[in-house]
Chains A and B, each alone.
Chain A
Amino acid sequence: MNTVNQPIPKIDAQALTTGKGVYTDDLAPANCLIVKVLRSPHAFAKIKSIKTDAALKVNGIECVLTYADMPKIRYTLAGQSYPEPSPYDRYILEDIVRYVGDPVAIVAGRDERTVDKALKMIRVKYELLPPVIDFEQALDNPSVIHPEADYFNNFPIGGDVKRNLLASGGHSGGDLDAVFSSCDIVQEETYYTKANAQAMMETFRTYTYLDHNSRLTVVTSTQVPFHCRRQIARALGLPKSAVRVIKPRIGGGFGAKQTLVSEMFPAVVTMRTGRPAKIVYTRQETFAASNSRHQMRVTVKVGAMKDGTIRALDVYALSNAGAYGEHASTTVGLVGSKSIALYTPEAYRFHYDVVYTNTMAGGAFRGYGATQGCFAVESAINQLADRLGLDPAEIRLKNIPKQGAAMPAYLDGPLSSSRLDECIRRGMEMIGWKEKFGICRSDGKTARGVGMAITMQGSGIANIDTCAATIRLNDNGFYTLFIGATDMGTGCDTILAQMAAETLHCPMERITVDGVDTDHSPFDKGSYASGTTYLTGMAVVKACTELCEKIRRQGALKLGISLSQAAFDGDQVVSTLDPAQAIGLEPLAQQLVVGDGEWLQVTATHSSPVSPPPLMAGFADVEVDLGTGKVRVLDYAAVVDCGTVINPNLATVQAQGGIAQGIGMALYEDIQYNPQGKMLNDSFMQYKIPSRLDLPDIRVEFAPSYEPSGPFGAKSIGEVVINTPSPAIASAIFQATGVICRSLPATPEHILLGMAKKQGGAGA
């Protein structure tokens, strides 16, 4: 292959490294009204009154909008395919506020200073309601967070909103009780994962204007332009035809921008005033008034034999939706389906409840529930190995499904491609597992340990996700690839162009990539659920294959030869019988737009009945300071099977970045609230993400299988990479200190306390 599987530089690399103004706020016209939001200081309250007259009088203020000005249309901010599973539980502004940060009023004015001044002059009287902050107290709490009569679901998701129950459900297979009762060992443990901030470097931002036909144009940093269009139209009561969404370059998303966080506010202002409007979220708002990873409690019961055969797995998850239900019922589904399926138990059950609380809503964050499930189930398997005196890596090798196996707990298909066993074996070599595991490496001041975990994700959502691509031959022989997939830094524009170049037998330079503008891009559900490489990639291959055919046909016509005798090699259409009979692509393209020609363009759509899992093994070597409990990750080795690697450089960096986020989750990322529901760590000062001093040189290798249903054999890579660090690091800490971390993050306090307890216990 010439372009696929090559380390081709990102096509936008030069623009990005030289600081070209390509992001939303760089493009916004200077005359935009500045939009800001007054937010609730209370976790749960009813608005008794809002006085806006003084604010309106501030010179330069264009409008001050409250719930009284908003359409009474319930909608969800979740960017998912219609019909969204997320409940329609929001108004743009409402007379009830459900978390500290919920919007109360929208102010637009000439500049920031003016708007800030007006914000201070709005007087709101609240009637305080008792908030529910602790998600373990939410179910059947007397405080009902969504009492509204017009709350609704597109289809049943097992909720009972009067009980603060947003969703519930599950699935199972085999006779669980019978299998448990015949196991040598049954272990049950409960694990906690915290809310984490996606913390992409570009905060949420959007600007809006009315075009010459009075259509609302929304330029926004989003992962889901088409879902944006649908949701904005719904929330504002506009026909979809009246809304256009444009996505420029995005400064990271990691799932956060799969929810429409900032879009509605300037949109409402533009509809109200007819003027261009812009909102740029502060970092504080991005932490405290957007969405995060769902906080969860996960109980894992595992039944096994003494030789390490895992026979039964029973997983229960309680998930904290926060104040609104975006992505709540769907993230929790992955907790079980993407963790249990890594093993081959005779019986399994997965069930869950999702509850509302008065904290910031959860949302999508890379890994999307699989991460939480991975921490719980992989930690449980590590602990099981310890109880049985077995090597955790060996216990995996013994129990993982082989390529071709059915995976009953994974509802999206069999294991059509896997080299997970090689991922594990190679990872063991890379980290030096045989030499390090089970060996005490302590100098009295520090202690070292190694730990490991395996994981899987999906590649798109089976039978739901739809992605299209359009390829066009332009009049001088270059191509334009139109996509609706959103490159948020991941490099999908580049890898999709690689696939196009490979299929069209041409160099990368001949392909320009255009996206995304809902007015002219082909439909794509957007970039999430690890679907872009696998699904949009396949749409690109289909479209380009068909375009090759069209070019061949047109070439044959021009040459006056039969179609069966015409071949297209990327540069020319040539007769297989007489090589002298040939027409170059450029003259052919030129002739196609003169006189009786044909403008060659193909759109192809793809969706898949399966979601083949990428797989991975991660190994951590950590050092614990026995005096302070501080953990340093000295080495992290990961081996990924994402099918054919379309671009080794970009895949490696994706993996390193995901692992870095996973290390943050393992060791310090934890959104905390005070008892009144105010977020305590809403800045980079207080919410620490890993800096370059905190991380080792993360080492990544690939063990590519060939996925028959993927483009060039590819699966996905984007999400799977975040999952392994927390269980692998927790296990390594246990190896070093004997302290078990069942609640993330693994803080120095917990480790010190655990060590003290052990010593106390030993002395007694």
Chain B
Amino acid sequence: MKVKIKVNGKLFDKHIPNDMMLIDFLRKYGFYSVKRGCESSNCGLCTVWVDQKPVLSCSYPAARADGHEVTTLEGVLPEAEVFGRVMASMGAEQCGFCSPGFVMAVLALKREIPNPTEEQAREYLAGNLCRCSGYASQMKAVMQYLKEGYQ
């Protein structure tokens, strides 16, 4: 089938197999930040935005994104770099494989819930697994980033 999907502001007018998932579409066209960690929609690594709302691109048919706007980590870079620096200053990322999905979820949280409590933030980010960090430093970085209202 034919789809028109805007990714990070750029239009992709492409023929795709009907059952293609958004993650495979995005990686095919070079958005390598998008990672897969599972086949059961449990890890959150593949989180991107469709029309500014976070979705799991591993279980989101590319066809459904037809006519919509997709944002990956590559599309929010200045903002992600700022949060990345807060993470790095705490040593909060280890292997970094979970980072792209996690960062997309954190930036979505920032848009959706102004001044969340740590409890709310934990709930919101619960679907983003990380096997390396034990989460404590990640959460510290999230709360500091949100509190200090970086632009």
A interface residues (Cβ-Cβ under 8 A, vs B): 7, 9-10, 12-21, 23, 26, 113, 198-203, 249-252, 254, 282-284, 488-491, 647, 649-650, 652-661, 683-685, 689, 691-693, 695, 697-698
Other contacts beyond A7-B91, A20-B33, A660-B135: 9, CB < 8 A: A16-B93, A17-B99, A18-B103, A26-B32, A201-B132, A488-B95, A489-B132, A653-B91, A692-B138
The residues of B that contact A15 with a CB separation of less than 8 Å are 96
Please state if B88 and A14 are interface contacts (CB–CB under 8 Å): yes
The residues of B that contact A17 with a CB separation of less than 8 Å are 80-81, 83-84, 87-88, 93, 96, 99, 103
In Å, the complex CA distance between A252 and B40 comes to 20
Please state if A489 and B88 are interface contacts (CB–CB under 8 Å): no
Please state if A254 and B136 are interface contacts (CB–CB under 8 Å): no
With known contacts A283-B39, A692-B125, A489–B81 Cβ distance under 8 A: no
User: Which B95-151 residues have C-beta < 8 A from chain A?
Assistant: 95-100, 103, 122-123, 125-139
Q: B103: which of A19, A23, A113 is its contact (CB, 8 Å)?
A: A19
The residues of A that contact B125 with a CB separation of less than 8 Å are 692
B7 CB within 8 Å of chain A: no
Please state if B42 and A685 are interface contacts (CB–CB under 8 Å): yes
B77 CB within 8 Å of chain A: yes
The residues of A that contact B123 with a CB separation of less than 8 Å are 693
The residues of B that contact A199 with a CB separation of less than 8 Å are 131
Please state if A18 and B39 are interface contacts (CB–CB under 8 Å): no
Q: B94: which of A252, A689, A695, A697 is its contact (CB, 8 Å)?
A: A252
In Å, the complex CA distance between A79 and B133 comes to 25
Q: B131: which of A9, A10, A661, A693 is its contact (CB, 8 Å)?
A: A661
B74 CB within 8 Å of chain A: yes
With known contacts A489-B95, A657-B131, A283–B89 Cβ distance under 8 A: no
In Å, the complex CA distance between A689 and B42 comes to 10
The residues of B that contact A698 with a CB separation of less than 8 Å are 134, 136
With known contacts A201-B130, A283-B38, A283-B39, A18–B94 Cβ distance under 8 A: no
Please state if A692 and B95 are interface contacts (CB–CB under 8 Å): no
In Å, the complex CA distance between A201 and B127 comes to 13
Please state if B40 and A683 are interface contacts (CB–CB under 8 Å): yes
B interface residues (Cβ-Cβ under 8 A, vs A): 17, 32-35, 37-40, 42-43, 45, 72-74, 77, 80-81, 83-85, 87-100, 103, 122-123, 125-139
Q: Which residue of B lies closest to A19 (CB)?
A: B33
In Å, the complex CA distance between A585 and B126 comes to 51
In Å, the complex CA distance between A251 and B43 comes to 14
In Å, the complex CA distance between A345 and B150 comes to 58
The residues of B that contact A653 with a CB separation of less than 8 Å are 90-92, 94, 132-134, 137
The residues of A that contact B72 with a CB separation of less than 8 Å are 19
In Å, the complex CA distance between A201 and B43 comes to 8
The residues of A that contact B96 with a CB separation of less than 8 Å are 12-13, 15-17, 249, 251, 489
The residues of B that contact A14 with a CB separation of less than 8 Å are 81, 84-85, 88
| Minimum C-beta distance from B60 to chain A (A) | 18
Please state if B93 and A13 are interface contacts (CB–CB under 8 Å): yes
The residues of B that contact A202 with a CB separation of less than 8 Å are 35, 37, 95, 97
Please state if B91 and A692 are interface contacts (CB–CB under 8 Å): no
Q: A251: which of B95, B129, B138 is its contact (CB, 8 Å)?
A: B95
| Minimum C-beta distance from B54 to chain A (A) | 15
Please state if B132 and A252 are interface contacts (CB–CB under 8 Å): yes
With known contacts A251-B95, A650-B91, A692-B138, A201–B77 Cβ distance under 8 A: no
Q: Which residue of B lies closest to A14 (CB)?
A: B84
Q: Which residue of A lies closest to B127 (CB)?
A: A691
Q: A683: which of B17, B42, B130 is its contact (CB, 8 Å)?
A: B42
In Å, the complex CA distance between A692 and B84 comes to 19
Q: Which residue of B lies closest to A282 (CB)?
A: B39
The residues of A that contact B32 with a CB separation of less than 8 Å are 19-21, 26
In Å, the complex CA distance between A252 and B139 comes to 20
In Å, the complex CA distance between A10 and B84 comes to 11
The residues of A that contact B131 with a CB separation of less than 8 Å are 198-201, 252, 254, 657, 661, 689
Q: Which residue of B lies closest to A16 (CB)?
A: B96
| Minimum C-beta distance from A348 to chain B (A) | 34
In Å, the complex CA distance between A55 and B45 comes to 34
30 A–B contacts, CB within 8 A, in A order: A14-B85, A17-B83, A18-B80, A19-B72, A19-B73, A21-B32, A23-B35, A200-B131, A200-B132, A201-B98, A202-B97, A249-B95, A249-B96, A252-B132, A283-B43, A488-B95, A489-B96, A647-B91, A652-B137, A653-B91, A653-B94, A655-B134, A656-B136, A660-B133, A660-B135, A661-B131, A684-B40, A692-B139, A695-B135, A697-B139
| Minimum C-beta distance from B34 to chain A (A) | 8
In Å, the complex CA distance between A283 and B39 comes to 7
Q: Taking each of A649, A657, A695, which has the highest tally of chain B beta carbons within 10 Å of its own beta carbon?
A: A657
In Å, the complex CA distance between A200 and B131 comes to 6
Please state if B77 and A18 are interface contacts (CB–CB under 8 Å): yes
| Minimum C-beta distance from A430 to chain B (A) | 14
In Å, the complex CA distance between A254 and B132 comes to 9
Q: Which residue of A lies closest to B139 (CB)?
A: A692
Q: B91: which of A282, A488, A652 is its contact (CB, 8 Å)?
A: A652
Please state if A252 and B95 are interface contacts (CB–CB under 8 Å): yes
The residues of A that contact B88 with a CB separation of less than 8 Å are 9-10, 13-14, 17
The residues of A that contact B42 with a CB separation of less than 8 Å are 683-685
In Å, the complex CA distance between A455 and B104 comes to 38
The residues of A that contact B74 with a CB separation of less than 8 Å are 19
Q: Which residue of A lies closest to B89 (CB)?
A: A9
In Å, the complex CA distance between A713 and B67 comes to 60
| Minimum C-beta distance from A357 to chain B (A) | 26
In Å, the complex CA distance between A10 and B80 comes to 17
In Å, the complex CA distance between A198 and B132 comes to 10
Q: A16: which of B83, B99, B138 is its contact (CB, 8 Å)?
A: B99
In Å, the complex CA distance between A691 and B128 comes to 8
Please state if B134 and A489 are interface contacts (CB–CB under 8 Å): no
In Å, the complex CA distance between A656 and B131 comes to 10
Please state if B99 and A19 are interface contacts (CB–CB under 8 Å): yes
With known contacts A9-B88, A18-B77, A652-B91, A697–B38 Cβ distance under 8 A: no
Please state if A19 and B97 are interface contacts (CB–CB under 8 Å): no
| Minimum C-beta distance from B33 to chain A (A) | 3
Q: Taking each of A17, A656, A657, which has the highest tally of chain B beta carbons within 10 Å of its own beta carbon?
A: A17
Please state if B137 and A656 are interface contacts (CB–CB under 8 Å): yes
6 closest cross-chain pairs (CB), A and B = A489-B95, A19-B33, A16-B96, A251-B97, A17-B84, A649-B91
The residues of B that contact A659 with a CB separation of less than 8 Å are 134
In Å, the complex CA distance between A489 and B95 comes to 3
The residues of A that contact B35 with a CB separation of less than 8 Å are 23, 201-202, 251
Please state if A656 and B126 are interface contacts (CB–CB under 8 Å): no
Please state if A689 and B129 are interface contacts (CB–CB under 8 Å): yes
Q: Which residue of A lies closest to B24 (CB)?
A: A112
Q: Which residue of B lies closest to A27 (CB)?
A: B32
Please state if A10 and B93 are interface contacts (CB–CB under 8 Å): yes
The residues of B that contact A254 with a CB separation of less than 8 Å are 131
The residues of B that contact A198 with a CB separation of less than 8 Å are 131
